[in-house]
Structure 1
Amino acid sequence: MSIYPYRNGYAAYAWVTTPEGNRKRKYVYGPTRKDVHEKWLKLHNEAKKGPVATNTPTLAQYLAYWLKEVVEPNLRPLTAATYETTVRLYIVPLLGSKRLDRLTVQDMRGWLNKLADTCQCCAQGKDAKRPEERWRCCAKEECCRQTLSKRRSTTPGRSSGARSPMPWSRSASQRTSPSWSRSSGPGASGPNPGWSKRRAPSLRTRALTPSPGHGLCGWCQRS
């Protein structure tokens, strides 16, 4: 191994086998000899284990592979089409040329901020695609500011900490539905013999009272 000066730092290389089966040099760079030596050792160990890619794809190249090999075979056509539209209109134009190994959190934050402020009519040429006599805004240099909407985490007018009531609960069903109780007279009607319809009890009253000979079901035992 030889470490040599390169631009404002140092560089070194190792021979590796690419996934295509070719032998190529792969270079490592760093500001100091120590940094380059550590990177070279890591690269050398990877080369011993198996094939090593000598170039890193851009985000656009990776997303094209991801859509074709991962999304389309495993998701529904409409979902795959939605992903493709999102990648083509919103990700690739701003981040597509970025290499994957150089993509940072700062890049993603800047992309989100810029995307929120970008007029999509201008970026996608929506108005310019119309016949000239039907131009209305951006094609006439009168930007309509058609930006992407920002989703709210809470419903307007409702506190983020508020919890909506359960759609169905035992107490709610007792207030809104008729319950059944034991009937003293013969010929009583109901879901079981010996039960009749009555008004819903208060919350402190049991909704079900077993009649003589009635086998306690799971609900009665819980009551």
Structure 2
Amino acid sequence: MAAQKKNRANGEGTVFQRKDGRWEAAAYVLAANGNRQRLHVYGRTRQQAMDKLTDAKAASNRGVPVVHAQGTVGNWVTYWLDTVAVHRVRETTHTRYTAVTRLYIVPGLGAKKLSKLTARDIRTWLDGLRTRCQCCARRTDHQRTPTKQRCCAVGDCCRRVLSALTLTYIHTVLKTALEHAVQEEEIPRNVARNVRLGTPRPRRFEPLTVEEARRLIDTTRDHPLHPVVHLALHTGLRRGELLGLTWEDVDLNAGTAVIRRSLQRTSDNGLVLFPTKTKASERRIALPAACVQALHAHRTRQQTDHEAAGLRRNPRGYVFTAPSSALPVEPSTLNRRFATLLHQAGLRRIRFHDLRHTTATLLLDQGVELIVIKELLGHAHIGVTATVYTHVRLRIQRNAIDLLGHALRNPDTSPPTAAEATIRLEKGSWAPPGDVNR
């Protein structure tokens, strides 16, 4: 009697080898919309495909929706944020990823099938973000009260389009999410990689001049923020690194400070101490004598204030605290008070982070080597330092070339000074020696 053919049990799924050599397994699982949909998974071997299908069915049996290539882009990116990115990036970065997903990716591409997403879809979406006013697109002005409506709601479009840097960031978030889909073999390739946006121009910054920096220090001389501004200008520390400093990190006798934490405000947990931005950011720096003196006076004043407020000691040991409190200074509060200080000093408005750029710029102007500045600022690679401060390096190169030209010139000739040469060049009456166009 012939053996009876064995049938698969209901819901067991199926597995077979495709023409391209990969193995495909399929079964019905719980989808993100609450219905049961057929899931297809792939692997290089039969066992890999079956293992993926087994994991998916186990999650489905627990009531956990399974996100896969047959689902939408919005479902996949949300799944990636909640299960992958949340464990791989800092909390502040995850918050920015979530905002980008909510504001741009889901409204623009969220309804498209992940398996059918094309490079043309992404390019069209990004072109729309580049050219369309975001105030109109998100109806921001319409959500304001009638007395505060000032652009789209009253027929006067503000043309608030996204910058090239923001577009690049949005594209990067989508590209990273799709890359994980490729790693899990949900899709064969990352189509976002085929979309080129070009290299955006770096954000311009306007560091203070030497005279402006001196005026700022003089203005803050008797202000509670004096030690913060003083330390920022002399060391180039980031705002979070400054606010995260504790007295155990500072050795005033040796004149050094260890930078290993950064204070950041998060939407979920409030003020949080994170490790430094990168491994290279964890560093020991030397403190100038002026900073040591300012910190000595600040610690004495802080202890007096704490005793007057009934605090016997600074429990967490933050170097910079709120008045009569052991709590650290809020980053947003520092920004507001810094803007007030700039106004009092009669200086143009800059970001607090521009003090860091000021430090690096002034050091480069003084001829300090790039590697020393890289270590002081805590950049991961010297290429970062060289790229950010290209405008200063070009000025230093010009001075070096002028020195070389002075050394190589004919001693019998007497070339004009730089100022005279500039004037004569503008008038067309003089050209540098060897200039074929003179």
Query: Which TM-score applies when normalising by structure 1?
Result: 0.49
Instruction: Select the structure that is richer in helix.
Output: 2
Larger radius of gyration: 1
